[in-house]
Amino acid sequence: MRPTFSTPILFAASALAAYSVVDDYSPNNFASKFDFFTGSDPTNGYVNYVDYNTASSHGLYSVSNNQVYMGVDHNNTASGRGRDSVRISSKNSYQHGLIVLDLAHMPASACGTWPAFWLLSTSATWPNGGEVDIIEGVNTQNYNTMAVHTNAGCSISSNGSMTGKIVTDNCDVSAPGQATNQGCAIKTGNTNSYGDGFNAVGGGAYATEWTSSGISIWFFPRSAIPADLASGTPNPSAWGLPMARFAGACDWDEKVVNQQIVFDITFCGYWAGNAFSTDATCSLKASTCQAFVQSNPSAFAESFWSINSLKVYQNNGPAQPSTTSISSTPTSTFSSTTIATTTTSIPASTMTASTSTATTLLTSSTSVTLPGTTSIATTSSTYIIQTTTTSIVTTTVSTSSPPATIPATTAPTQPPSSTSILTSYPNTFSTVTVSNSWSAWSSQPPDDTNTGNWSPGGSWGPGSRGRPPRRRRDMS
């Protein structure tokens, strides 16, 4: 919210905030940020998902040369529930942001396989809450298929906004005229985007941007990864058309919520199993998908993920200062600079209400109180917030020097009192974000308070975790 003043105020437009990392799934802490799923496969696959200890001791999970390896058993005849494999789900869930995955290798285009890198809602039973498939394919497929699965009331259109081709446009898993659980799907003709073709070019990076207006997925082969992405300062606006763009008649903030990150490699099941007999190569290898997967372990030596990095970015980086011009009299005009815009992320489990205060800063001796902080200590033209709680994640703001001459009578002696900005929070969100701006100027001090706004739809932080709902569809 902008403050109310008794004098005219002109705000200059500020630069857009930049993406900043909120979760870095580095190889050394990768396993600790995920849960290893050990239940029966929700997609009816011929697979035995194992825990971390089993995966580590049997060579299905390891970290070497700063890369994460996740694969399947390729030494033994399968039995019981099926071939040993790994399925992991991130402990954190997210609402909006940019997810960047750099892979040196993905599971090969092998008969019977169904690997996927995808997002799944933790807040509702599937398909409520949505699912986003970023990398997915089956059997000898040599191109990537991307999809979104929701309940009724969500569809997409192209309008030349992507390089991929829409296969189905209704994201509803029960949409008439589409295969059950298919959702809205987009495929690419780029044979370097998946499986054997991806591995042949040394891998590459997938970047998925999710906003209130839709979901975009870019793929960059190793030799064409943008410099800004490689340097950790991603700028999607400079990347050109995405491979897939999910946008159209859909309320994305309602249909896709609280998504966790999932990797898995399953076998057969509803998609790979049903498509096995129609695959020209696979159908000649065995009578059924399960028979082939059970008895041919060596066929899956290349069925593994090799992860260079996985990072989640949030679009709430520090904004560039904006200029304020205030005229107190027809002959007296001063200029000053917005100190900063701070972002406060507060876990919903610890927050039931919040207060926010703000005041004008005219001299280096002026102090101001912010939520969860002591007074600001000033050094020259830099203001440092000393936090007293763990709620405030942005702790430093700065301002330019005030005008050289300021009438002493205009300087405020104390900040205005706190004002309650919310008495309760929407408990459907896992985090709450509060943004406020504080400005310095050289006119008569205001008597009001600049209060913040709850922005749950734009929050991006840890959420609750639950058992993954059933994930079924036939993309054939």
Q: Can you tell me the distance from the alpha carbon of 348 to that of 350, in angstroms, rounded to the nearest whole number?
A: 5
Choosing from 131, 209, 254, 302, which is the catalytic residue? 131
Query: Which has more confidence, 171 or 330?
Result: 171
Dihedral in degrees, nearest 10, Cα atoms 357, 334, 316, 161: 140
Quote the CA–CA distance of 3 and 445 in Å, as a whole number.
Answer: 12
Asked whether the beta carbons of 9 and 327 are under 8 A apart, the reply is no
What is the 8-class DSSP label of residue 203? Answer: -
Q: What's the pTM?
A: 0.67
Question: Which tens digits make up the pLDDT trace of 55-111?
Answer: 999 999 999 999 999 999 999 999 999 999 999 999 999 999 999 999 999 999 999
Give the SS3 label for residue 228.
Answer: helix
N-to-C CA span, the chain: 50
Q: What is the mean pLDDT of residues 210-216?
A: 97
SS3 of the chain: helix, strand, coil, percent, to 5: 15, 35, 50
Determine contact, residues 242/213, Cβ cutoff 8 Å. Answer: no
- Between CA 403 and CA 362 the distance in angstroms is 8
Say whether pLDDT at 205 is over 70. Answer: yes
Given 136, 209, 254, 302, the catalytic residue:
136
Residue 383 has pLDDT above 70, yes or no: no
Domains and CATH numbers, the chain: 9-16+331-404+411-458 (no CATH), 37-314 (2.60.120.200)
- Asked if 206 and 100 touch (Cβ cutoff 8 Å), the reply is yes
Q: Quick check: is 136 catalytic?
A: yes
Q: What does the pLDDT look like over 261-306, one tens digit per residue?
A: 999 999 999 999 999 999 999 999 999 999 999 999 999 999 999 9
Nearest to 322 by CA among 11, 70, 52, 40: 11
- Work out the burial of residue 427: count CB atoms within 10 Å of its CB; fewer than 13 is exposed, 13-18 middle, 19 or more buried: exposed
CA–centroid distance for 86 within its chain: 22
Q: pLDDT tens digit string along 154-172?
A: 999 988 899 999 999 999 9
Does pLDDT of 318 surpass 80?
A: no
Q: Cα–Cα distance between 226 and 228 in angstroms, integer?
A: 5
Beta bridge partners of 405: none
Residue 131 clears pLDDT 90, i.e. is over it: yes
Q: Which residues pair with 245 in a beta bridge?
A: 216
Q: Which of 112-121, 184-193, 322-331 is least confident?
A: 322-331
CB contact set of 349 (below 8 Å; sequence gap of 6+): none
Residue 331: CB partners within 8 Å, gap ≥ 6? none
Closest alpha carbon to 130 in 469, 464, 475: 469
Residue at 474: amino acid letter: D
d(CA 272, CA 266): 9
pLDDT confidence of residue 382: 25
